[in-house]
């Protein structure tokens, strides 16, 4: 029950979630499901606290269980965080592979993470100097967030699209997106 409770507020209070997850005695986790859930929530909390995790052990522990059991969205999230661990390790080919596997699942059951996966793919493509794929992935993320009404993530995608366009020297398109953000009454200025 504690893990399920943490999952309800991990996005809004990742620092509190991380403190509690770190304080849990792992020897008390008696089932494979609870070990996997703890591992997934732990890597999630680390990521949401802006702690780059290049060690894939937490993601792999979660994936070992969710590959065969449980909700598919947890499998997609495990694959996403495994991809992130490869990204932080600069193993970009492995990262793209895991993100692609995660996307195949998330697009059917977890739209928020589907958008996050597209942004992670964009980050990976820009590391390999593939601006065209970066832009395509960011456009998809923007469309996903727009379709589910995720304003905060939508603004981040718009900002990232503007930067991508500026890098491609498409300054008028970039300026247009930035002006939309700057002069919008609805924008969450934490994004800027």
Q: List the structure tokens of 182.
A: 């700057």
Q: How far, CA to CA in Å, does 63 sit from each of 37, 84, 142?
A: 10, 13, 27
pLDDT in tens, 125-140: 999 999 999 999 999 9
The pTM of this model reads 0.90
pLDDT in tens, 30-53: 999 999 999 999 999 999 999 999
**For every residue of 134-154, which 3-state class applies, written as one string?**
HHHHHHHHHHHHHHHCCHHHH
Q: Are 156 and 191 in contact (CB under 8 A)?
A: yes
């Amino acid at each position: 029950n504690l893990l399920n409770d943490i999952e309800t507020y991990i996005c809004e209070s990742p620092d509190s979630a991380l403190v509690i997850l770190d304080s849990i005695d792992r020897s008390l986790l008696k089932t494979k499901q609870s070990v996997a859930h703890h591992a997934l929530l732990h890597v999630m909390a680390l990521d949401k606290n802006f702690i780059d995790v290049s060690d894939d052990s937490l993601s792999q522990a979660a994936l070992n269980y969710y590959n065969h059991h449980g909700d598919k969205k947890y499998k997609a999230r495990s694959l996403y965080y495994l991809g992130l661990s490869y990204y932080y390790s600069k193993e970009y080919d492995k990262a793209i592979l895991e993100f692609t596997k995660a996307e195949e699942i998330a697009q059917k059951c977890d739209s928020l993470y589907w958008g996050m996966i597209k942004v992670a793919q964009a980050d990976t493509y820009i590391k390999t100097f593939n601006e065209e794929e970066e832009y395509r992935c960011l456009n998809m993320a923007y469309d996903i967030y727009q379709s589910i009404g995720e304003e905060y993530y939508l603004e981040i995608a718009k900002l990232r699209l503007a930067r991508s366009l500026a890098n491609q020297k498409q300054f008028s398109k970039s300026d247009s997106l930035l002006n939309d953000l700057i002069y919008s009454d609805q924008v969450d200025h934490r994004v800027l």
